[in-house]
A and B are shown apart, each in its own frame.
Chain A
Amino acid sequence: MRAAIAHLVRRHPEGGTVTLVVLISLTFAIVTGGSWLSTGNLQSLSQLTAVLAIMAFGEAIVIATGQIDISVGSVSGIGALTFLGLAPVVGSGFGLVAALLFGVLIGGINGVFVAFLGIPSLLVTLGTLFLFQGIGYAVTSGFSFAASNVVRKQFIYNGFGGGTVAGVNTGVIWALTILVVLQLAVFEMPVGNRLLAIGGDAASSFSRGVNVTRIKFGVFVVSGVLAALSGALDAAFIGYADGSFGAGMELSAIAAAVLGGCHLAGGRISLIGTLLGAFILRGIQSFLIILGVQPQWYILVVGLIVVLAGLADRTLTRLVLKR
C-alpha cells in the first residue's frame, strides 16, 4: 500500500495540491451556499489566478535550478507601469513590447550577477527588487498611470488582460498557453532535463557537459519576462497602476510555487501544481471576501499555508525516497 502511494507521489508531485484544490473548492462552495461558485466569482478568481500563476511559473523555473527570484514583484510593477505609461503614447502593442523588454533586461541583470559572477540569487534579486521598486515609485512620483478610453479599445490591450473572450479574461488564456509551453519545455525537451539536472546537482550536470552558466542565465530572463507580462496583464485588467503595483507579489508567487510542490532546494518542480497553488491562494482570498471576514486574514492564512505546505512536502519526499 505504502509502496503504491510512494509510486503515485513520485510520479505526480502535484497530487497533494490537486487533493487540496478539490477539498477547498467543495468546502468553500458549501460554506458560502454556492456563491463561491457563482459565475462572477469564478471570473474574477480565474483572472487573479492567471496573473499570479504566470509570475509563479517563472519563479518555478528559477526554483527548478535551485535559485530564487524575489525581484518578480518589482518586475511586474515595472511591466505594468511601462505598459500603461507607454500605451497612450505609442499604442498598446509597442507598450507591451517595451514592458516585456524591461522584463528581459531586469531578468538579464539578475542572470548576469547570478550565472556569470556567482553571487547568490537571493541577494541579487533582493537588490533588484529594491532597485526597481524605487524606480517604480520615482517614475510615478505618487500618481498613477491609467488607461485612456482610446487605449481601452485597442486590440492588443484587450488581448492582453483588458478584455474577455467568452466571458473569460484574456489573461487566463495566456496563463494556460504559457503553462503548456513551459510544461513541454521542462518535461519533454532536453533543455528541461538539463534545467532540472542543474537544480539536482550542478557539479554533476557540468561534468556531463551541460552549460550551467547559460541555463542559469536563461531562467532569470524567462522569469523576468513572465513577471513583466503578469504585471501588464493585471494592469490592463485593472486599468491603472501606481508605484506600489506588484509590491509583495514575489512572496505570493513563491508561496504558490511551494504550495504546488516545487522544492526550494531545486530539481523538482510541478507547473500544474504551481497553477493550482496560485488558484488555492486566490481561492482562499475570494472565499474570505465572500464570507465578509477581514481580507487581512488572507495574509495570515497564506503564512500558515506556506509552512504547512513545506511540512507536507517534506513528509512526501521522505516517503518517496524510501528504498
Chain B
Amino acid sequence: MRKLLKRPDLGIIIGCLFIFALFTLYDPAQWFNWGTVSNIGEYTAILGLLAIGQSFVVLIREIDLSVGSVYGIVGIAFVGLENNNVSDVLAFVLAMLLALLVGLVNAALVIRGKLSSMIVTLGGLFFYRGLIYIITHGAVTGVPQAVRQNWFAQLLGGHSLRIQNGFLLLLILGFLCAVTLHETRFGNHLLALGGDPASAESRGVPLGKVRTIAFALCSLFAGLSAIVTLTNDPETSVSLGTGMELEAIAAVVVGGTLLTGGRGTMLGTILGSFFLTAVRSEIIALGAPPSWYVSFVGIALLTLVTINTLLLKRLRISG
C-alpha cells in the first residue's frame, strides 16, 4: 500500500479510473461505442508518442517546447518526399533522420552552448514553424490514394484485430521505454541526472551523452508521432502540430512526472495521454464546443500538478 502511494503515477491512475467510471455511468452508449474507442485509441497514440519523447527530456530536468513544430516539419517532409516518388520506407527513414538532426541540434545548443533548454527549444518552436510556412507556402498537401493503400502505410496507420496499429505501437514502445528507464544502466543514468546532476556527474555518469540521447529520443518520437498521424490521415497543413508541445507537456505532467526531474513513469505518461484524449472525445460527444477541451487541459494540468506536488511534499516530510 505504502509502495503504491509513493508511485508518481498514482494521481493519474485514480484519474483514469474516475473518468472511466464517470463516463460509463453517465454516457455508456457513447463510451462503449467502437467508433469512440477507435478514435480515442488513435489520438492517444499520437499524443502518447509525443509525450513519451517529452518524458525523457522532462526526466532530466529539461524541457522541449519545439516538439509541435518538429512534429509538423517531419510530417511535412514525409508527405513531401512521398509525393516526390520517394518510396515510403526511404521517406520514413529520411524524415526520421531529420527528426534526429533536430534533436542533436537541440542537445548541442544545450550542452555546448550552455543555454537553458527552454530558450533553445523556444527558438526551435519558432524556427521550424517558420520553415514549414516557407517550404509549403501555406499549401495543404495530401497523399495519393495509391500510396495510402500500400503495406507501409497500413503497417503504421492500419488496424490489427480492429485495433489501431498506432495504438499498438504506442504500447510496445511505451513498454520498451519503461524497461529502458527502470531496468538498464542508461535509464539509471537518466534518472540520476534528473535527480541530482552534480552527484550523477561525480559518480561518473556521462552527462553529455545522456542529455544528447534524451533530446534525440524526444525529437524522434515527435517525428514518429507525425508519421503515424499522416499514414492514418494523410493531409498536412501549415498548422500541423501547432500547440502540440503544450499538450504533450501537459500529458507528461498530468501523468505524474515531475518537472524538476528524476521522477516519473512511462505508464503515467501514456495514461496521461489517454486521460486527456478520452475527456476530449467526451466533450465533443456532449456537443460542447471543442474549445472547452483546451480549457479542460488547463484545469486538468493545474489540478493534477497541485495534487502531485502536495503529495510529494507529504512523502518527503514523512521520509
Contact = CB atoms under 8 A, between A and B. Distances in A.
Direct contact, A vs B (beta carbon within 8 Å): yes
Interface of A: 68, 113, 117-120, 122-124, 126-138, 141, 243, 251, 254-255, 258, 264-265, 294, 296-307, 310-311, 314
B139 interface: no
A314 B309 contact: no
Contact of B114 (A124, A141, A254, A314): A314
Contacts of B301: 123, 126-127, 130
Given A133-B294, A134-B297, 6 more contacts: A122-B118, A122-B259, A123-B305, A134-B291, A300-B130, A302-B130
Contact of A296 (B130, B249, B291, B294): B130
20 contacts: A117-B306, A117-B309, A118-B309, A118-B313, A123-B253, A123-B305, A124-B302, A126-B249, A130-B297, A130-B301, A133-B295, A134-B296, A138-B289, A264-B116, A294-B137, A300-B131, A301-B130, A302-B126, A303-B130, A307-B127
A138 B291 contact: yes
Contacts of B190: none
A252 to B, nearest CB: 9
B34 interface: no
Interface residues of B, number: 46
A255 B130 CA distance: 15
A68 B65 CA distance: 14
B246 A137 contact: no
B90 interface: no
Contacts of B259: 120, 122-123
Contacts of A264: 116, 118-119
A32 B312 CA distance: 58
Nearest to B131: A300
Contact of A251 (B109, B115, B125): B125
Interface string B243-257: 000100110010000
A298 B126 CA distance: 9
B26 interface: no
Contacts of A296: 130, 133-134, 138
Nearest to B126: A303
A83 B295 CA distance: 21
A134 B249 contact: no
Contacts of B128: 303
A76 to B, nearest CB: 16
A129 B126 CA distance: 18
